[in-house]
Amino acid sequence: MTDHALWLLRQDRRLAKLAAFPFGFDLDRAAHGHVEEVRLASGGPLETVAGDDTGGTYFVCADGSVLYADSEGAAGIIGSSVDEALELVIGLPGWRGYTRMSSDDSEEKILACVAETEDEIREHYGIDDERAELRAVLGFPNRSPVELVGRLRAALLRTEPEFVLLNADEGCAYDRIGPAGPPLWEPVLAAGHADLARLREGDCTAWREVAEDPVRRRITLRAAQFDRAEGDLELLRHLLRHETRSSMTDELTARGRAGGAGRGHRRSAAAA
């Protein structure tokens, strides 16, 4: 999906106001930035495109995904593009209340939850005519709440590990919005399991590349702790020999630097 709908909002002030209220996607708030300086743990760029009246901010990441960060220290991916995020917030104005819904929740439960939330919204202002107009002009289909909740859940599960948000000053990670996904170590070790499989196949290039790369070598050794197979002894010895040499080299280098600093200090003292 492209970001054509975002372009239309930027061209039409009335549409932009409708998206801002009652759907909480306010382009004008982008100029104010987030409530604090933030950055991605992965180091990728973040572009602020909108905000809401609770202090939340919508960021666009390098691949086009939209990361929503609230003002209380939680964040999560809500769409693979700005248009997808817009379709979500327009179709589900109460989306923040559905982030913990499970894939096991029935259609009846989801529809009841959405109906209850939207009835509460309607007590204060309209959403139905506004939603219909935005969908028509922006070209969004009339998706069911069940489908939108499923898309929201799938997006939120993509937050870790690539889109973890940090406080820029302290480096503290934001909590993840949404359902608990797999433990963070699983995607990290996935690369190690892949390299372990290549080593077991006798891939000579892999034996050299993995052994000489300290990060890949250590992740592969860690993966082997959880996935031992008959015949692993030779490849483990190969990796451990490189790990031992690397560790000894690091230690000797550090000691050499310390020794050099000590000798320089003694020479300075003697000269004095």
pLDDT tens digits for range 165-223 = 999 888 888 999 987 655 555 666 788 889 999 999 998 898 999 999 988 888 899 88
> What per-residue confidence (pLDDT) applies to 181?
57
Q: Residue 117's CB: how many other CB atoms inside 10 A?
A: 18
pLDDT, mean of residues 62-88: 96
Confidence of residue 2 (pLDDT cuts 50, 70, 90): low
pLDDT, mean of residues 48-70: 96
Q: Which two tokens stand for residue 71?
A: 């003002």
Q: How far apart are CA 131 and CA 93, in angstroms?
A: 9
Is residue 97 within 8 A of residue 120, CB to CB? The reply is no
Packing angle between helix 82-91 and helix 4-11, nearest 10 degrees? Answer: 70
The pTM (predicted TM-score) of the whole model is 0.68
Task: Report pLDDT digits (tens) over 137-147.
Answer: 999 999 999 99
Is residue 96 within 8 A of residue 25, CB to CB? The reply is no
> What per-residue confidence (pLDDT) applies to 102?
82
Looking at the predicted structure, is the pLDDT value of residue 269 above 60?
no
> What per-residue confidence (pLDDT) applies to 250?
52
> What per-residue confidence (pLDDT) applies to 265?
42
